[in-house]
């Protein structure tokens, strides 16, 4: 089976293989980690995961700005992924890069705005995975028809109230118990008072760095209210010794 790898250097002396696994698991499925002193080779199952890992060059892990490079060019095709059937839950590799960046921030990792812009640029160049788009659309239509009415979408129902203010949107949510019946983060998010903004964030390639920070805060808030049995995609093994900036402190 083919694997796709990246080289990671300038690791902190305290960084372990587990810490590397936790950090790079946000990119996608890891097949192997080879660590020697302050360097490591991370191998992924899919090329899109390696591409995401390269995006993290300059990110902070255990207080050090890591260097992520590759001996080969990793390019995933435009519109990568298939549209049928949509996975549940969706594969990590199929998520928009801006969404993955938001997950990093929500978990307390420090990524510069330059890296966030890099994520936005990759989404704009490569497009959003057709599998991910199919997944979001199936949630919107499937949940909408089941909870709101025939040929209705969750986002459409809530969006009719958003202009009147989030209080009205919350009232609709509580009336239909939408978020309580939702399964994963995405189905909960698109049913929230901010559903329209959430859906646009994940389905369009037009984003700003601020949009990633806002989505990171929503994810962090969801983690705070999630049931203890819910397992996150990945947890940082250690806390960075670098003090958080004001932007990152907002995520709690």
pLDDT at 241: 34
pLDDT at 174: 57
Calculate ∠ Cα 20-80-31, nearest 5°: 30
* Joined tokens for residue 182: 């939702």
Domains parsed from the chain with CATH numbers: 4-128+204-249 (3.30.70.330), 135-195 (no CATH)
Average pLDDT over residues 221-241: 54
pLDDT at 87: 52
Rounded distance, CA 73 to CA 222, Å? 36
Average pLDDT over residues 154-164: 49
Handedness of CA 221, 222, 226, 232 (dihedral sign): negative
Q: Is the peptide bond before 106 cis (omega within 30 degrees of 0)?
A: no
pLDDT digits (tens, 9 = 90+) for 9-48: 999 999 999 999 999 999 999 999 999 999 999 999 999 9
Report DSSP state, residue 93.
Answer: G
The values of phi and psi at residue 82, to 5°, are -115, 160
Half-sphere exposure of 116 (CA within 13 A, CB side): 22
Average pLDDT over residues 152-177: 51
pLDDT digits (tens, 9 = 90+) for 76-120: 655 454 444 455 678 999 999 999 999 999 999 999 999 999 999
């Amino acid at each position: 089976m083919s694997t796709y790898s990246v080289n990671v250097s300038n690791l902190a002396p305290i960084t372990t293989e587990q810490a590397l696994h936790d950090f790079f698991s946000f990119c996608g499925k890891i097949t192997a980690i080879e660590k020697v002193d302050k360097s490591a080779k991370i191998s992924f199952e899919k090329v899109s995961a390696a591409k995401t890992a390269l995006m993290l060059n300059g990110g902070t892990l255990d207080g050090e700005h890591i260097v992520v490079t590759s001996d080969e060019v990793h390019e995933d095709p435009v519109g990568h992924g298939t549209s049928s059937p949509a996975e549940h839950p969706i594969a990590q590799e199929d998520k928009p890069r801006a969404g993955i960046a938001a997950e990093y921030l929500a978990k307390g990792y420090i990524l510069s705005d330059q890296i966030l812009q890099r994520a936005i640029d990759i989404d704009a160049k490569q497009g959003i995975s057709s599998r991910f788009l199919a997944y979001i659309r199936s949630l919107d239509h499937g949940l909408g028809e089941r909870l709101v009415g025939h040929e209705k979408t969750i986002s459409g129902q809530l969006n009719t109230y958003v202009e009147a203010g989030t209080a009205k949107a919350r009232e609709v949510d509580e009336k239909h118990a939408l978020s309580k019946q939702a399964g994963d983060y995405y189905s909960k998010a698109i049913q929230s008072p901010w559903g329209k903004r959430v859906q646009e964030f994940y389905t369009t390639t037009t984003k700003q760095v601020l949009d990633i920070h806002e989505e990171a805060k929503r994810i962090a808030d969801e983690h705070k209210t999630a049931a203890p049995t819910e397992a996150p995609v990945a947890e940082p093994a250690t806390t960075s010794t670098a003090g958080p900036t004001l932007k990152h402190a907002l995520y709690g």
